[in-house]
Structure 1
Amino acid sequence: MSSTAGLAIRSAEDGDWTAMSLLAATCFGSFRPTEANDMWRTLIPADGAVVACDGGDVVGMAFYLDLRLTVPGGAVLPMAGVSWVCVSPTHRRRGVLRTLLAELHERMGSYPIAGLQASEAGIYDRFGYGSATIDESLSVDSRSADFRANAVDPGGVRIVRPLDERARLEEIYERWRLRTPGGLSTPPQLWDEVFSDREVSRHGGSSFFVLLHDDGFVFYRVHGEGERKSLGVTKFAAVTVDARVALWRTLLGMDLFDEVTVTAPPGELLPYLLTDPRLVRITGREDGLWLRIVDVPTVLEARTYLADVSMVLDVSGGGRFALDVRDGRARCAVTDAEPDVSMDLAVLGSLYLGAHRASTFAAANRLRCDDPAVVARLDAAFACEVPAQLGFGF
């Protein structure tokens, strides 16, 4: 047990979870069902949850989940998935958050990388986390959408009952996540939670419907009533281009709905398939997964690269490393040589899955390098053929 500002920092105990649930609901604005909390608790390692207590009151908390992250090239790394980070509004500005995260980072032990989703984007780069995936919210005018003549319908989509096809859906997701940077392995208990389709998860929509293709699927809900109805896609996984085209054709072939909404990484294929690409509007842009690279050599050597590069990286908060990439594979080792490139740990986390470019950080003076050619090589090396996308929210 440690302390800060008169508060006790300790491991969460069974008797704390009622108070923790109340604190989470206060901070995030809604209660999560007890059954859902119980499911998430099964993914927390021993001593993976910490609380800050003022006497008998829980006034701060955080935990991490035992997750598996797909990186560019298809390798999978153990990832500590940080979640439920919150401090009571009665105890702000006392250093509680910093102390909780320091304790949690210490407990992560051998995890080479940590990740989280940030409810407030201005907080976590100071702790070494960088935004590593980008989510664009898209709205499609489905009544007016027409496909180009050369956007042939591959077919193969079926309307299914979700539970009847659970094994098939899980198998397709597994293929999707193993090819997608940011994909996360999904344990059986999390699939149980998905298929429970709780009312609290519907956000005013219907129970979910599922479209199934041999190489992809869509989960969606119906929103609205009467003459104004829309389809809200909650999961869209496609392993092949044919599957993506076929699923989009089916979604936009439902004549009684005005709009389809979906979240996708930048570069969505749909506008290129339509005669009028303006019918696909970007209505929002947010960060998804944030990454903190703990073991820099292990993590940089795990992924593949699209171009050769050889340089010394100085990572504030992480160390100095010689990075040598040849034929798509990297060797990375601690060095005391003069650096070619300097950045902080959060920037390295943002570059890792290929969603952000080194040249953009250089323009913002968050990555420092005197040679533009070196920055260009970093851009080419860290790019990814498959856009990064978070596998599921945690």
Structure 2
Amino acid sequence: MAMNGITVRSATKDDWSQIVNLAETAFGTRYDQPEKDHIPDLFPIERAIVAVDGARVVGHTVDRTMTVTVPGDNTVQAAGVSSVTVAPTHRRRGILRALYTAQHERTEAEGVPLTMFTASEGTIYGRFGYSTSIYSNEVEIDPRRAEFRPGTPDPGGVSIATLDEAKPHIREVYDRWRRLTPGGQVRPDANWNIWFGDPERYRDGATTLFVLTHPDGYVLYRRQWKDEGENLLRVDEFRAVTAEAHIALWRVLLSMDLVTKVEADIADDDPLPYLVTNPRLVKFTHRYDSLWTRVMDVPAALTARSYRSDLDVVVAVDDPFRNAGGSFALRVRDGVAACERTDRAADLELGIDVLGGLYFGGHRARNFAAANRIQVKDAATLRAFDDAFATERDPELGWFF
């Protein structure tokens, strides 16, 4: 594909050094060696698409097929898109749209029902049919003041470990966790190798990783001494398969000596604020989108997940970027959906971005309707639709890509 002197094509191994330089320039960071060693295995060069101006790479995108858990503990294949970049010297030339067109044409040809990515900016991707689908919350706690409520169990079972000796346990617990959690992806060896390599740029001035293990969970965290006597404990990854593991791990984290502040990311439904006598101590300092999703094939995507209640509606879906839209009859019985194109009149109308936002259960349909992003014929239909798409467990991103 060529436009205005720019050619969009599949990447080759000869493009690799320019792709790395472009990504480092666009994101304002330098990759450490563990990343450079394993990124080609995580996102193979044959999955990359580049925009070139003469001999210079000025745009890039890449994906890999991921297996991701969806509501109902089912899994679906998704194209995980990464490293979407356009050189600052080549803005406003349609390069991003050309890259995305080529990439999504390939995804359609491969029959993958979802695309998803972790975004660095929040204003770009709606026009391509994406929406935020999973959120996370940054919290901080002063452990010196935190007390667990009377009657909160003390399950025990937590041990300290070195990263090397804990690796098999961490991988096993993560796999158990992701099978239960909407948004949790199968984690490839290349990602584990980068994570266990503990690149220096991940540390932000803190220590290398410390490890706590429990038979049903683990925590990876760092320590950092700051000015004025502040000693920070920053949780980089917390996975608990059971409520007992969650409580046991937090009991240890909040009892560490010489710590003045604990920082962590938690999901909306994390019970941590309910465990302590003063929930104000769990201060929510930042809420951010951790995943964006686009539905590529409406019937395939909607029949892959489960639903909380029965439903029988016709949904009209508008797709401004590709051709996935249309009217679809969605029928749910006992959590299992059937979905097919139809000529029947629509009960609800929404954009394909809204459908992506609803898919993992991270948003409620009633909130989209209140924002006029779902048009519905009556309140009863909205209630039924909202309840069916709701999930018992809030979604969480498994690993950042």
Q: If the length of structure 2 is used for normalisation, what is the TM-score?
A: 0.96
Residues 279-290 of structure 1 mapped to structure 2, 5 A cutoff: 279-290=281-292
What corresponds to 2:77 in structure 1? 78
**C-alpha distance in structure 2 between counterparts of 1:172 and 1:267, whole Å:** 20
Cα deviation code 1:139-158 (max 9, x no counterpart)? 11111000111111111111
Q: Please tell me whether residue 183 in structure 1 is matched to residue 190 in structure 2.
A: no
Residues 148-187 of structure 1 mapped to structure 2, 5 A cutoff: 148-187=149-188
Change (3 A) 1:46 1:28: closer
Residues 292-331 of structure 1 mapped to structure 2, 5 A cutoff: 292-317=294-319, 318-331=325-338
Per the TM alignment, residue 370 of structure 1 is displaced from its structure 2 partner at its CA by: 2.1
**C-alpha distance in structure 1 between counterparts of 2:272 and 2:145, whole Å:** 14
**C-alpha distance in structure 2 between counterparts of 1:263 and 1:354, whole Å:** 18
CA contact (8 A) 2:311 2:331 kept: yes
2:8 aligned counterpart, secondary structure: strand
Q: Please tell me whether residue 198 in structure 1 is matched to residue 203 in structure 2.
A: no
Q: Please tell me whether residue 369 in structure 1 is matched to residue 376 in structure 2.
A: yes
Bigger mean CA offset, 27-36 vs 39-48: 39-48
Residues 30-45 of structure 1 mapped to structure 2, 5 A cutoff: 30-44=29-43
**C-alpha distance in structure 1 between counterparts of 2:374 and 2:207, whole Å:** 46
**C-alpha distance in structure 2 between counterparts of 1:313 and 1:46, whole Å:** 38
Change (3 A) 1:265 1:234: same
Cα deviation code 1:229-282 (max 9, x no counterpart)? 111101011111111011110100113101111111112211111111100010
**C-alpha distance in structure 2 between counterparts of 1:160 and 1:103, whole Å:** 46
Task: Mark the runs of 5 or more structure 2 residues left unpaired by the alignment.
Answer: 320-324
What corresponds to 1:334 in structure 2? 341
Residues 98-113 of structure 1 mapped to structure 2, 5 A cutoff: 98-108=97-107, 109-113=110-114
How many residue pairs end up in the alignment? 393
Task: Mark the runs of 5 or more structure 1 residues left unpaired by the alignment.
Answer: none
What corresponds to 2:243 in structure 1? 241
Q: Which amino acid aligns with 1:299?
A: A
What corresponds to 1:23 in structure 2? 22
Cα deviation code 1:70-113 (max 9, x no counterpart)? 10111111111101101111111111000000001112222111
2:42 aligned counterpart, secondary structure: coil
What corresponds to 1:122 in structure 2? 123
What corresponds to 1:352 in structure 2? 359
What corresponds to 2:225 in structure 1? 224
**C-alpha distance in structure 1 between counterparts of 2:374 and 2:226, whole Å:** 50
Q: Which amino acid aligns with 2:220?
A: F
Q: Which amino acid aligns with 1:43?
A: L
**C-alpha distance in structure 2 between counterparts of 1:49 and 1:31, whole Å:** 20
CA contact (8 A) 2:13 2:45 kept: no
Q: Please tell me whether residue 213 in structure 1 is matched to residue 214 in structure 2.
A: yes
Per the TM alignment, residue 37 of structure 1 is displaced from its structure 2 partner at its CA by: 3.4
1:289 aligned counterpart, secondary structure: strand
**C-alpha distance in structure 2 between counterparts of 1:160 and 1:274, whole Å:** 27
Q: If the length of structure 1 is used for normalisation, what is the TM-score?
A: 0.97
CA contact (8 A) 1:43 1:66 kept: no
Q: Which amino acid aligns with 2:337?
A: A
Q: Which amino acid aligns with 2:330?
A: L
Q: Which amino acid aligns with 1:29?
A: G
Aligned alpha-carbon RMSD (Å): 1.3
The match for 2:393 among 386, 390, 393 is 386
